[in-house]
Amino acid sequence: MCLLPKNAFGLLEAESEPQVRAVLGHFLFVYVHPYMDGNGRLARFLMNLMLVPAGYVWTVIPVERRNEYMNALEQASSFANIAPFASFIAELAKTQAKGPLPRPR
């Protein structure tokens, strides 16, 4: 069963808010999953391509928070609940706007 509305890409194109467009763009790319490998990396790259020109910081999803990231994506994919994913990305962007992440050791 597909939970995407038939006009999902039209909604993305028509969205004027860059934060919403970035979250939806990331989610749609991962949901469609067009490649055998690299879909998550490309989705995060596309998300940042939509955020940065709008004045937001390049937002990194730390590997330490991968489970939280995957759970939020699962909520969006399986239960049509994108709110946890949007909140997760917003929290990361807000935190990272205050200062860069510590470098891995």
Within-domain flag for 30: yes
Count up the domains in the chain and report the number. 1
C-beta atoms surrounding 28 within 10 Å: 17
Concerning whether 33 is annotated as a catalytic residue, the answer is yes
88 is written with which tokens? 């997760």
Q: Pick the catalytic residue from 3, 17, 32, 33.
A: 33
Are 17 and 50 in contact by the 8 Å Cβ rule? The answer is no
Within-domain flag for 104: no
**CATH number for position 57:** 1.10.3290.10
Q: Range of 27's domain?
A: 8-97
Within-domain flag for 48: yes
For the stretch 41-73, pLDDT in tens is 999 999 999 999 999 999 999 999 999 999 999
For the stretch 62-102, pLDDT in tens is 999 999 999 999 999 999 899 999 999 999 999 999 998 88
Within-domain flag for 3: no
Q: Is the pLDDT of residue 2 over 70?
A: no
Cα–Cα distance, 35 to 94 (Å, whole number): 30
Crossing angle (nearest 10°) for helices 39-51 and 18-32: 170
Which band of pLDDT confidence, cut at 50, 70 and 90, is reported for residue 104?
Answer: confident
Within-domain flag for 93: yes
Cα–Cα distance, 81 to 76 (Å, whole number): 4
